[in-house]
Amino acid sequence: MNSLKVFLTLRNQLNNFLNQKSPEKEQLPVHISDAIDQMRPKITMLQHWQNDKITLCVGGKCFDTTKSTLMKEPTSLISIPCGLYSIYQDSKVIIDRDPSHFKFILNYLRYDCRMPIGCLPNDKQVLHELKEEAEFYILPKLVKAIDEKLTSLKK
């Protein structure tokens, strides 16, 4: 059984246990009960991520993310696969681009369309290549952040 199935099985068993009234539950030490209550939102978030998962193959390299991450810039080219994915649920979405800088594109979306300047590379050539990708995917805020980083490197 793979680790995801084990996790989902344990999560379901934990939820069933927490939702029932039983003498065993009442006898749990307070710190364990508190820890379980603190885990519940994280388990729910992980379940949401699993249900929202999308796989993008960029230049042959696969990236797993969520549809909600891709939709953070709804006017961008990167949001289009979310609509296509419902048609091709069992396959990966293929994007014929160089995968070298795609992690920066995903991280930008994961940071709610903000890219802390320290998270961008310091290499000017890489920044120019990344800017070209950001322009391709129609991510103007990322283009602006890259321009700011390039300006800061000139000083």
Q: What is the pLDDT of residue 6?
A: 61
Q: What is the pLDDT of residue 123?
A: 93
Q: What is the pLDDT of residue 47?
A: 59
Q: What is the pLDDT of residue 87?
A: 46
Every domain range in the chain assigned CATH 3.30.710.10:
53-154
Q: What is the pLDDT of residue 10?
A: 65
What is the pTM assigned to this prediction? 0.64
- Asked if CATH classification 3.30.710.10 holds for the domain at 53-154, the reply, yes or no, is yes
Q: What is the pLDDT of residue 142?
A: 94
Q: What is the pLDDT of residue 149?
A: 92
- Ordered per-residue pLDDT tens for the chain, 155 residues: 455 566 666 666 666 666 665 555 555 555 666 666 777 676 666 655 566 788 888 999 999 888 888 888 888 888 776 655 454 555 578 888 999 999 999 999 988 888 777 789 999 999 999 999 999 999 999 999 999 999 998 86
CB 68 within 8 A of CB 53: no
